[in-house]
Structure 1
C-alpha cells in the first residue's frame, strides 16, 4: 500500500488507494468511518457537496444500520 495521501484526487485512484485514503480519516481509530469522517475525507479529495456525499455514502454502505461504515462495508462502498 502506498504511504502517501494526495491533497486532491485529480486522477483515478485504485480501490486499495481509496480505502487507504479513507481509513486515514478514522479520527478516533475505532475502525469505523462516521459521516463527519467521510465528509472530511471527501473534502480532502477536493469533492464538492461533501456533506451530502458523506450522508449518501453512509446510507448506501451501512448494512448493519449503526450509522458508521466499518471495514466490510467500506469494501462495498469503494466498489
Structure 2
C-alpha cells in the first residue's frame, strides 16, 4: 500500500467512494468514510469535501468501532 499522509486533501484520494451515515442530519453534521486502494480507511468532514482527510488502518477503525459499540466513548456526548 502506498503511504498516504494524514491531512491530505480529500479530493486527491484517487478512487475514494465516500459514504455517509444514514444517521447524518441535514444540518451539516456529517462524517464520511471511504475505503482506499490497499485497504486504508479515509475519514473527512462532509461540509468540506476538498478539505483534509484523516487516514487510518483497517485495524485502527475496527478498534474504534468496537469501542463505540462497547460504549467507551459515550462520555463525549453526555
Q: TM-score, normalised by structure 2?
A: 0.31
Structure with the higher strand share, 1 or 2: 2
